[in-house]
Structures are given as structure tokens and as C-alpha cells.
Chains A and B, each alone.
Chain A
Amino acid sequence: MKFGVVIFPGSNCDYDTYWVLKEVFHQETLFLWHKDHDLRGIDCVVLPGGFSYGDYLRSGAIARFSPLMQEVREFAARGGLVLGICNGFQVLLELGLLPGAMLRNKNLKFLCQFVHLKINNAETPFTNQGRPGQVLRIPIAHYDGNFYAPPETMEEIKKNNQIVLQYSTSTGETTEEANVNGSLENIAGLINQQGNVLGMMPHPERASEAVLGSQDGRLIFQSIISWLS
């Protein structure tokens, strides 16, 4: 199986993500330049974290017009797996592959810290190695992670079980206090209706090796690998 990590000008988690896929999980992994028109036969595309196009206008707003993103849109429509991490999540929202939008964090601070996440849906290509209610410890690093969607969209999201990860306490309670950025329904990870496109604000690639303080992020990559095997 083959992974592709997209590089936009301003991406800064591209090499971390590549490292984890290639060196930690020993998967064939390619870099894909945002101006390319070809996904080169990959099975899963990862939009990494960072500040694509300096986050000018809105986070992820300019990246969505990259030529490669039109390929990603078609790839997703064909059922291909797409994982957007942090800025990648913001790009997927701007692209319309996921519903809703990001507002500035409720406390107006850039948040860079470990958080606890409850797995709400363990039947996705990205979480199938976990169990519902399992708590992961993975870091976040963002300014605009306060998920918002209009009430009718939220209804749809809940009805279709699209909430995959939620900010929680270490025991898995989705309290207001644990909801560090103010997201509706404590949403940290959201999947599309078809179940092949996941956006998540936390960085699993920063929690995949013991030396980094947590290996809980491995579950996300292991799930994808197991799904594709």
C-alpha cells in the first residue's frame, strides 16, 4: 500500500508525517507537491499540519484551490482514504469535503499542549483498532480549532455518527473544561458521511514514538494500514 503526504507552501508537519509512515510503520510513502496533477497511485492521502499559504485569508482557504486538491476531491469521491491533520482538517473544511468551519479558539490563544480524546466512533478506517470510549493522549497545536456548524448541519453530523474524536477528560468525559478550544460537541475529529475522509485537529504523528511522550497516535495509522491490508 502507498501513502502520499501533500506539501503546500507553509506545511510544517509534512516531514514528521512522512517519517512516521515510512520509518515507524515501514510503509511506501511519497511526497506530493500541491501543484501536481497526479496522485501517483496512492491508497491514502494525508494533508499534514502547518500553515498552508501562511493561513492568509482564513486557515486552509487558499490551499483548497491548489491543482492537487482537485485530484484529492475526485479521489475522495471514488472512496479513497483522506486524512487531514490540523491545517489539513481546515483545508478539508474549506474544500467542502467535510461539513462546518473553524473559528478562532474560544480563549483566543494558540493552544500547544497534550489533550485527551475520546474515541466516539471506532468503526472507521481511521479508528478501527480502537474501541468506543477509549481515551487517547495526543497533542494539539492550533489557533483556529473551534469547530462550528449551523444547527441543521450538527443534526446531520450526529445522526450519521460522524463525530469520531472528542476532547475529553483522562477518563473519557466530554466536559466543558476538557473542550479546550470551544468546539461544538467537543469535536476534535470528524468524518464525512461516506466514511472515507477524516479531519482531526490533534497530531497523531507527534505521538507515535515513545521518545515523544505518547504513542497513542499510532492507533490512527495502524487503523488505516489494517483497513487497507
Chain B
Amino acid sequence: MKIRVLVSFKESVLDPQGQTVKNALHSLGYDFVKDVRQGKVFELEIDDLPREQLEVKIPEIADKVLANPIIEKFEWEILE
């Protein structure tokens, strides 16, 4: 099965790259864009696991490796 993990900066942390992308969009005339937050996407191909095991293991992986919990948060979903 396939899992997608999204990692992005916590709201309290400034995201200078997102800000730069927003400024670029504004300079192109897309003024309706209010804010941009940049993040990372991980797609994990894994053995089939029951839901309850996923709910333990995926956050564990995200906390330990994929994200730095001091500055980043994550969400995950099952793709297939």
C-alpha cells in the first residue's frame, strides 16, 4: 500500500521560502493569493498493515525522521 506524508512548518514558524513564492506570485499579478506555506511530500510504499498499526507506525516515522517536531508538523493519508 501507499502512504503520503505531508510535512510543513508549524504556524508559529516563519517560512521564508513560502514568503518568497508568495511575493513571486504577487509580482505576476496573482494578488488573490494571501499566503503560501511550503512543505515536503513523502510517498511511502509499504507492506499492507491494518489501520490501527498504521496509526502508530506512520506518526512514529514522521516524528522520528521525516519531520523535525520542533519546527514542523505533519499529516498523512492512505493513497492506495
Contacts and interface: CB of A to CB of B under 8 A. Distances in A.
Interface of A: 57-58, 61, 94, 100-101, 103-108, 148-150, 182
Interface in B57-76: 65-66, 68, 70-71
A197 B35 CA distance: 39
B41 to A, nearest CB: 13
Q: By DSSP majority rule, is chain B's interface helix, strand, loop, or mixed?
A: loop
A149 B13 contact: no
27 contacts: A57-B65, A57-B66, A58-B68, A61-B65, A61-B68, A94-B68, A100-B70, A101-B68, A101-B70, A101-B71, A103-B13, A103-B14, A103-B16, A103-B71, A104-B16, A104-B17, A105-B16, A106-B16, A107-B16, A108-B17, A148-B13, A148-B70, A148-B71, A149-B70, A150-B12, A150-B70, A182-B16
Contacts of B71: 101, 103, 148
A108 B16 contact: yes
Given A108-B17, A108-B20, A150-B12, 9 more contacts: A57-B65, A57-B66, A58-B68, A101-B71, A104-B16, A148-B13, A148-B70, A148-B71, A149-B70
Q: By DSSP majority rule, is chain A's interface helix, strand, loop, or mixed?
A: loop
A94 B70 CA distance: 10
Contacts of B68: 58, 61, 94, 101
A27 B20 CA distance: 47
Contacts of B17: 104, 108
B59 to A, nearest CB: 17
A61 to B, nearest CB: 7
Contacts of B20: 108
Interface string B1-36: 000000000001110110010000000000000000
